[in-house]
Structure 1
Amino acid sequence: MIVIDKLCYQSKLRYENAGEKFAFAVLTLLICVVSRSIAVAGIVLAVTGTLTVAKGGVPVLRYLKFLTIPLAFLFLSTAAILFHISRTPMDLFAIPLGGWYLTTSMSSLHYAVQLILTALSAVSCLYFLSFTTPMTDILEVLRRLHCPKLLIELMLLIYRFIFVLLDTASAITTSQHCRLGNRDYKTALKSFGLLGSALMLRAVTRSNRLYTAMEARCYDDTIRVLSENHPPKKSVIAAIVLFDSALIALAIWSKYLI
């Protein structure tokens, strides 16, 4: 079972209304991305992290470990924005390299911090939704929002096949280890290629079998999944509206009044 999926089903917010969690995560993400405000991003990162850890019950170290995954990519991508090689030194610092300078400015530093915090806060919104809401509940929300049925079915089938392929890959990898298929670098590369080709063939075979089984059970282009009904709470809706309204006000204030 995928770790995120396991944490989701163990979350203390598992049985809260999925529509409320979906609305909070999506609206907050949009406000954060559109505003590009450092203050808004910091508040969103703190609030969603607190809700996921304190209210949802996700271990702090595990949550921080998941946050380090996008953080590594962000540092690499913002390095090109932050550092410049120029003949003219900038205002923050400049390291001479012959006739050139490795340099940066305050505006570049501000933009890099803004980009990192905005991206991290957006990821934290998605983590909040992923760690507290099962995939079936998210798909039910999308169905109520009149998302195309074809897209919902594809998402459900892809979600199902992730577990199937992971289980198959784990079995093949164990078999390769038992046969010393990774004893050196050359053998490991060959084993990895064989693993990819075997997964491809088995995925196609299983997808054909799945479609045949679905048609044998009178498949009519709609996959029906039982969903639990958790009524929305007026207090939670009011809190979401107040929080997002405060974020919008803060974004406007920081952009036009400072």
Structure 2
Amino acid sequence: MAVLTLGACLAAQAWWIPLIVFGLMAALTVWAGRTPWLLYGRLLLVPVAFLLLGLPAVALSVSTGPVPDGRWFEIFGLYVGATQAGLGMARDILVRMLGAVSCLYFLALSTPLPDLLGLLRRCRVPALFLEILMLVYRFVFVLLDTALEMRRAQTLRLGYTGLGTSYRAWGGLLANLLLRAYQRAGGLYTALTLRGYDGNLRVLETPRRMYPGNVVLAALLGGSLLLLAVTV
């Protein structure tokens, strides 16, 4: 279902279709997936904050003269303002991002990685791709755990008591983070080798019961949104 709704977001010409996808995916993730809505909101803050930093560059235009279909103000001989086309493009980017991110979170928060790898393996995805996916997933958490441990150690040594000490602590963390994470990743690879790693990562899949009604409902919802996106 996440793939179908993501396709609907990418194929939609009407700006309101990604909003429907966002509402549906968010409701399913929070209600059916039982994800705390506060956690879901915090997860959304990261991509939304990143996008809001770039949207003004899309919505605003700089010109040597005012354009009739927008509102402009003059700065040092240049006219800065927004046109209907720029605002429409910014709106489309925002709603597409919300819809696409909600599809990603629906998949990530409801499907364990071993189950996803098992599905991809049954779909004849190359083993090399699955291995890279698994290792990247693991090493992302190695990097995150290393950063949290270093920050906790700095906090215990009063590294964030003032503005100056905070800057020095952040500088030290950033300067040593990749080196420490690389060392931990090397230790992880050594542990895999000692346990007989031969290039194939085998994970245990948890048997799960599939309900035909849920499968049909998900296919109908996703297919309907995709059909609506390509026809409207």
TM-score w.r.t. the length of structure 2 is 0.84
Give SS of 1:101's match.
strand
Counterparts in 2 of 1:95-244, with a 5 A limit? 95-97=73-75, 100-244=78-222
Counterpart CA distance in 2 for 1:191 and 1:97 is 39
Matched-pair contact (CA < 8 Å) for 1:90–1:104: no
Matched-pair contact (CA < 8 Å) for 2:2–2:222: no
| Cα drift, residue 52 of structure 1 | 1.0
Superposed CA deviations along residues 76-118 of structure 1, whole A, max 9, x for unmatched, are 3221221223312332433355755333222222222111101
Matched-pair contact (CA < 8 Å) for 1:37–1:118: no
Matched-pair contact (CA < 8 Å) for 2:146–2:181: no
Superposed CA deviations along residues 37-95 of structure 1, whole A, max 9, x for unmatched, are 31221110111011011212223333233223222222232212212233123324333
Q: Which runs of 4+ in 1 moved over 6 A?
A: none
Matched-pair contact (CA < 8 Å) for 2:150–2:173: yes
CA RMSD of aligned residues (A): 2.6
Counterpart CA distance in 1 for 2:149 and 2:43 is 26
Matched-pair contact (CA < 8 Å) for 2:160–2:166: yes
User: Structure 1 residues 222, 195: CA separation in 2 closer, same or farther (over 3 Å shift)?
Assistant: same
Of residues 190-199 and 109-118 in structure 1, the stretch that sits farther from structure 2 once superposed is 190-199
Matched-pair contact (CA < 8 Å) for 2:8–2:18: no
Matched-pair contact (CA < 8 Å) for 1:42–1:117: yes
Matched-pair contact (CA < 8 Å) for 2:19–2:98: no
| Cα drift, residue 198 of structure 1 | 4.0
Equivalent residue, structure 1, for 2:36: 59
Give SS of 1:28's match.
helix
Stretches of structure 1 lacking an aligned partner (at least 5 in a row): 1-23
TM-score w.r.t. the length of structure 1 is 0.77
User: Structure 1 residues 96, 197: CA separation in 2 closer, same or farther (over 3 Å shift)?
Assistant: closer
Counterpart CA distance in 2 for 1:217 and 1:180 is 40
Counterpart CA distance in 2 for 1:202 and 1:46 is 41
Equivalent residue, structure 2, for 1:11: none
Equivalent residue, structure 1, for 2:6: 29
Matched-pair contact (CA < 8 Å) for 1:31–1:248: yes
How many residues are aligned here? 231
Counterpart CA distance in 2 for 1:209 and 1:37 is 50
Stretches of structure 2 lacking an aligned partner (at least 5 in a row): none
